[in-house]
Amino acid sequence: MTFARHQRGMTMISWAFLLAALAVVVLFLLRVFPIYLQDFAVGSAVRSLKEDTLATYSTPSQLQTALLRRFSMNDVTNATRDDVEITQRSGMFDVNVNYEVRTAFMFNIDLVLSFEHDVQVPVH
């Protein structure tokens, strides 16, 4: 006769719950990782506007064109022209890229991620 105190290990139902939880975590990572990868490219493009000492920007449209060109080179599709806001004041351009990404997670559950990048670029 085998008593419960001598039995060790996980039952089949415990394994099923563990594998289901692991599958949800893996699915989450697979959905979110590419979005964060693109956001890293957006942040890098925005920061490069300030760090590029050879470029000269005298109008907001020149700055926006340069930023959108960097988005295009890095294959950024989540941030668009409508998400870029450039204002000029006191010899500086304030560049703000604010966008949201919505992606399907599972069934009727969507993930919504919001991103914002700010930088000040001198007027030349």
Predicted local distance difference test score (pLDDT) of residue 44:
96
Predicted local distance difference test score (pLDDT) of residue 55:
83
Predicted local distance difference test score (pLDDT) of residue 6:
67
Query: Which tokens sit at 48?
Result: 């490069």
Instruction: Please indicate, yes or no, if residue 5 is contained in any of the structural domains.
Output: no
Domains: count for the chain: 1
Question: What is the SS3 string spanning the chain?
Answer: CCCHHHCCCCCHHHHHHHHHHHHHHHHHHHHHHHHHHHHHHHHHHHHHHHHCCCCCCCCHHHHHHHHHHHHHHCCCCCCCHHHEEEEEECCEEEEEEEEEEEEEEECCEEEEEEEEEEEEEECC
Instruction: Please indicate, yes or no, if residue 2 is contained in any of the structural domains.
Output: no
Query: Which tokens sit at 49?
Result: 């506007």
Angle of helix 12-51 relative to helix 60-73, nearest 10 degrees? 140
Predicted local distance difference test score (pLDDT) of residue 8:
75
Instruction: Please indicate, yes or no, if residue 32 is contained in any of the structural domains.
Output: yes
Which residues pair with residue 14 across a beta bridge?
Answer: none
Instruction: Please indicate, yes or no, if residue 1 is contained in any of the structural domains.
Output: no
* List of the chain residues with pLDDT < 50: none
Question: What's the domain range around 76?
Answer: 10-122
Instruction: Please indicate, yes or no, if residue 3 is contained in any of the structural domains.
Output: no
Predicted local distance difference test score (pLDDT) of residue 2:
59
